Amino acid sequence: MKREWTGDAAREARQQEMAIERLREHFQGEKPSYYITTLGCQMNAHDSEKLAGILAKIGFTQSPREEEADLVVYNTCCIRENAEQKVFGRLGYLKGYKKKNPGMKVALCGCMMQEKHVIEKLRASYRWVDLIFGTHNLYRFAELLESMYESGGPIIDLWEAPGEIVEDLPSIRKFSFKASVNIMFGCNNFCTYCIVPYVRGRERSRKPEEILKEVKSLAASGVKEIQLLGQNVNSYGKTLEEPVSFASLLYRVAEVEGIERIRFMTSHPKDLSEELIAAMRDCPKVCPHFHLPLQSGSSRILERMNRRYTKEKYLDIVGRLREAVPDIAITTDIIVGFPGETREDFLETVDVVRKAAFDGAFTFIYSPRKGTPAAEMEQVREEEAKANFDELLAVLKEVMDKRNEGLIGKTLHVLAEAVNQHDPAMLTGRSEGNHLVHFPGKAEQIGQILPVTITEQMTYYLAGKIREDKEE
């Protein structure tokens, strides 16, 4: 199937509504099931919520098991090679089930599908996959499904570039009391290790009135916590006809009645503004948590990464954030073993970890991605990268333990999210600083923001108990 962008977002939305209605008629009297597997970032997770919302509107129900589903969807990620290998491994596993159940349909979407070498491999070795589409035309999921069921597949519909943003897609959220909201799509930064700008396209911002409309609707449905999503939220609004800063958007979202907490990610250090720091300080609804990817503590490596800041600038930003918001939790991303990284470069990263005193970190050993400049650079020996990685983890544990120990005896405000998987007498939730907290509680307290006094730290989570008195 190939259909060009009409240039009219409203018209595109109507076409999808009509496709949904036709599919509802197609499945009349049936209850087809679906199973979605999501790999990758929060953007992908939110995309999967939209896919689930479209399927529910058609009349699909969620299957508890992938093998029993009538439609299996893999929303893929291409940031790291192992994510790709995982998809191919699962496809091999599913092939057997599809032979036993020829009616099973398999769909692939997401970032991985925007890579030419992946599509070549799928065409050559996985011809039994029924539907393939990418990141730019996700909103056309219903129309693509209709074509797949009509023709029997396979359907491959990939765009090199996105069209306009299509609003008001249905969504099924994991939680009734918190939700993610896209404020922008794509990325203009072109870090030398990253494939995202190539697979998600250039930056496009949603209009603030559309964002606020969605936030108000979510608040009316009982949502208390909003997470604003973008590859670099600092760049929000620059592509709009009437530019709007991200900080000003935060203030406007905070005015929505019913919203109690606001989070966002991710922020790029190169263009973090004083206005945003002031918003963190002055807006009580904005959670005191800032995810600020470091990637490397070596200014030389940062230049090779095309990150456009130095070690000194990064530490200055951390200092300004902690000065403005003394109780702020700062988390980060770190890559070990980037091409050209020496032992001295790595020790610069360790130095930043100690000085910045991170509350948490996502850590990765560098993985070359086809199509990026870094993949063509001379690579670091695997054993050297692994040894440095293990050392970094040990330093991070030391730093995080110290930060968490400072929270013992303090009362944090925790949004109870679920019954603990290992102990039904315990609840699990997130503090305002995004710390994972376990504490005794009852299922009926899920969705409430509770005062929890911290009694113990375990590096990657905290333990505590609900404070009896409600006084601050």
- Domain borders along the chain are 9-157, 173-287, 300-405, 411-466
Look up residue 302 and give its amino acid. Answer: L
The β-bridge partners of 290 are 330
Check pLDDT > 60 for residue 414: yes
pLDDT tens digits for range 80-102: 888 888 899 989 888 888 888 88
Identical fold for domains 9-157 and 411-466, yes or no, is no
pLDDT value for 109: 96
Q: At what angle do helices 246-254 and 274-282 cross, to 10 degrees?
A: 20
Q: Three-class SS of residue 298?
A: coil
Q: Nearest to residue 399, comparing CAs of 449, 451, 336, 351?
A: 351
Specify the CATH number of the domain 9-157.
3.40.50.12160
Q: Which helix (H) or strand (E) holds 299?
A: helix 299-304
In the structure encoding, which two tokens stand for residue 263, read together?
């989070």
Strands 462-466 and 449-457: antiparallel
* Cα Rg of the chain, angstroms: 23
Exposure string for 316-329, b = 16+ CB within 10 A, e = fewer = ebbeebeebbeebb
pLDDT value for 1: 54
Check pLDDT > 90 for residue 278: yes
Is residue 16 packed enough to be buried (19+ CB in 10 Å), middle (13-18) or exposed (0-12)? buried
Q: Three-class SS of residue 274?
A: helix
Length of the chain: 472
Work out the pLDDT band at 470, boundaries 50, 70, 90.
low
pLDDT value for 45: 92
Residue 440 CA to residue 108 CA, distance in Å, equals 41
Check pLDDT > 90 for residue 460: yes
Q: Provide the phi-psi class of 174: left if phi over 0, else alpha when psi is between -120 and 50, else beta.
A: alpha
pLDDT value for 271: 94
Q: At what angle do helices 311-324 and 343-356 cross, to 10 degrees?
A: 10
Q: What is the 3-state secondary structure (H, E, C) of 210-223?
A: HHHHHHHHHHHCCC
Regarding the domain with residue range 411-466, which homologous superfamily does it belong to in the CATH classification? Answer: Nucleic acid-binding proteins (2.40.50.140)
Q: Nearest to residue 304, comparing CAs of 341, 266, 351?
A: 341
Q: At what angle do helices 274-282 and 311-324 cross, to 10 degrees?
A: 30
pLDDT tens digits for range 343-401: 999 999 999 999 999 999 999 999 999 889 999 999 999 999 999 999 999 999 999 99
The whole-chain average pLDDT of the chain stands at 93
In the structure encoding, which two tokens stand for residue 311, read together?
């070690």
Check pLDDT > 60 for residue 430: yes
Look up residue 38 and give its amino acid. Answer: T
pLDDT value for 3: 56
Q: Nearest to residue 362, comparing CAs of 312, 457, 461, 292?
A: 292
Residue recorded with tokens 């918001």 = 325
Across 270-279, average pLDDT: 96
Check pLDDT > 80 for residue 311: yes
CA 336 to chain centre: 21
Specify the CATH number of the domain 300-405.
3.30.750.200
pLDDT value for 472: 47
pLDDT value for 180: 95
DSSP letters for 416-457: EEEE-SS-TTEEEEEETT--EEEEE--GGGTT-EEEEEEEEE
Exposure string for 428-449, b = 16+ CB within 10 A, e = fewer = bbbbbbbbebbbebeeeebbeb
Strand stretches in 78-162, DSSP E:
105-110, 131-133, 155-157
Check pLDDT > 60 for residue 5: no
pLDDT tens digits for range 258-269: 999 999 999 999
Look up residue 72 and give its amino acid. Answer: V
Least confident of 40-44, 154-158, 243-247, 420-424: 40-44
* 58 contacts: CB under 8 Å, gap ≥ 6: 20, 23, 24, 27, 142, 145
By the 8 A CB rule, do 263 and 432 touch?
no
pLDDT tens digits for range 203-249: 999 999 999 999 999 999 999 999 999 999 999 999 899 999 999 99
Specify the CATH number of the domain 173-287.
3.30.750.210
